[in-house]
Amino acid sequence: MAIDETSKVVVQPVNKEKVRRIVRVAIILGIVTTFEFIVAFTMHSGTLRTSLFILMTIVKAFYIVSEFMHLKYEKKMLIWTIMIPTIFVIWLIIALIYEGGAIYDVRF
């Protein structure tokens, strides 16, 4: 019985730089998540708490998208085609929250 040449498994050496980057991003995400829990359980509800949660969510999204989705290594125009619509969506959400509050104040 002949051994098929395509069935041999070749083990690649570990790329320590990639592992180091993943560990660094995981530590940063862990620190931000820990800070989120501290804010959630120590601060009272309000604008400051909500703003902190939004800011921390944006930081976490940046690290996830840049490292794990490899957007950090893409061309600049691809990054802008993703970021510009995202900025407009964030602006839309802020505008809707602001206008919703104004309409609530007028009605009640």
Task: Using the Cα atoms of residue 52, residue 55, residue 61 and residue 64 in order, give the sign of their dihedral.
Answer: negative
Mean pLDDT for 91-107 is 78
pLDDT score of 30: 93
Q: Give the model confidence (pLDDT) of 11-65 as tens digits.
A: 777 888 888 988 998 899 999 999 999 998 998 888 888 888 888 888 888 888 8
Per the confidence metrics, is the pTM higher than 0.75?
no
**Bigger pLDDT: 7 vs 44:** 44
Using alpha carbons, list the distances in angstroms from residue 50 to 30, 39, 64, 91.
19, 10, 21, 16
Query: Which of 17-26, 78-87, 98-107 has the lowest average pLDDT?
Result: 98-107
Letter for the amino acid at 50? Answer: T
